[in-house]
Amino acid sequence: MASTQVKLKPGDTIGILGGGQLGRMLAMAASRLGFKCQVFSPDPDSPAFDVVLHATCAEYADVEALELFANDVDVITYEFENVPAAAAMILAARRPVLPEYKVLGTTQDRLAEKDFVARLGIGVAAYADVSSLDGLRAAITRIGLPAVIKTRRFGYDGKGQAIIREGDDLDRVWADLATKSAILEAFIPFEREISVIVARSADGHVECFDVTENEHGDHILKISRAPAAVSDALAAQARGIAETIANALNYVGVLAVEMFVVPGREGSTSGPLLVNEIAPRVHNSGHWTLDGASVSQFEQHIRAIAGWPLGKPVRHGDVTMTNLIGNDVLGYEQWLTVPGATVHLYGKGAPRPGRKMGHVTQVTPGKK
């Protein structure tokens, strides 16, 4: 089904695959525009179930549940990029699925993603395909140490990756990774990490949010700030990279591109920016847009997949987004009275270390 055919009207129903906080915030943004949402998730405790009237709690392998879900909705999208190919194919035969499933084929596999970005002439860390312990030794000889080993699939928030330093026991590193399918990347001594949240509509129109600067702890995003403390020229280059990627994927919806700013590369063909990762969905580093911009990343995504015109995002000032991770959430009451703070809690059960429980945005108006 061609993506250009989608043109929803208020009252139509959007199907969302995945029931986490991203699905929850997508459903809330859709609701504000008059849409209904139905969420599909195997987890009965899905935070997105709380904000929709209709939910399908079933496994992605449950063909009958997928068919019934497709029949109930007008368009289908994801908040979760590891949807199995077979499930997406069953759905796509019945309803438009946006962004198109083939995009996930590229972004679900770190090797395919790196090859794709490199083919566009965009800088990435030196990398090598690794499928055995001997292959790991050969890759280290080529790339050097320190380096980062990552599983090709199903990695997130630092899971499925490890830094390898001089003297490390490679047998153990390889055994701990527990896969035969990995990539080795050069360790990048970056100056800062930034991301660009870009929206693209089916007619090829593209809108980027202002470049965001991201601080991680234990590989998990802790704080995002918009705008990033980079020059206008670098910000324009970052937005250009995100736009090139969105166009090359013929993407419909919101996409995040995470990049490293690397000092001393100014003279190289791809400049000081290296792309680390593409997320084919709304992204944690774009949560600041909920309170810090005239249109949020969630609304942009809904507009794109609904066939509606994209908003022209205007930032309301300097914005900081702080994730409430694990027990951080227990301090939510303190945030409620902080001037300019807006508290978002995801309605998840018990806090666990590393679990994203909510976030807070703080806007300082007036500054640009």
* Residues at the site binding ligand AMP, with contacts judged by CB under 6 A: 125, 148, 155, 158, 161, 185, 187-188, 193, 216, 219, 258, 276-277
Q: State the minimum distance, in angstroms, from the CB of residue 105 to ligand AMP.
A: 18
**Of 33 and 145, which CB lies nearer to ligand AMP in the complex structure?**
145
**Of 135 and 158, which CB lies nearer to ligand AMP in the complex structure?**
158
Q: Of the candidates 112, 107, 60, 110, which has an alpha carbon nearest to the alpha carbon of residue 88? A: 60
**Of 36 and 359, which CB lies nearer to ligand AMP in the complex structure?**
359
Calculate ∠ Cα 58-345-36, nearest 5°. 50
**Of 114 and 239, which CB lies nearer to ligand AMP in the complex structure?**
114
Q: State the minimum distance, in angstroms, from the CB of residue 225 to ligand AMP.
A: 15
Strands 75-78, 13-17: pairing is parallel
Q: State the minimum distance, in angstroms, from the CB of residue 20 to ligand AMP.
A: 17
Q: Of the candidates 110, 114, 189, 194, which has an alpha carbon nearest to the alpha carbon of residue 153? A: 110
CA distances to 78, 82, 125 from 115, in Å? 24, 19, 11
Residue 18 CB: number of other CB atoms within 10 A?
25
Q: State the minimum distance, in angstroms, from the CB of residue 229 to ligand AMP.
A: 17
**Of 158 and 240, which CB lies nearer to ligand AMP in the complex structure?**
158
Q: State the minimum distance, in angstroms, from the CB of residue 214 to ligand AMP.
A: 7
- How far the first Cα of the chain sits from its last, in Å, is 42
Closest-CB residue for ligand AMP? Answer: 188
Q: State the minimum distance, in angstroms, from the CB of residue 61 to ligand AMP.
A: 26
**Of 187 and 308, which CB lies nearer to ligand AMP in the complex structure?**
187
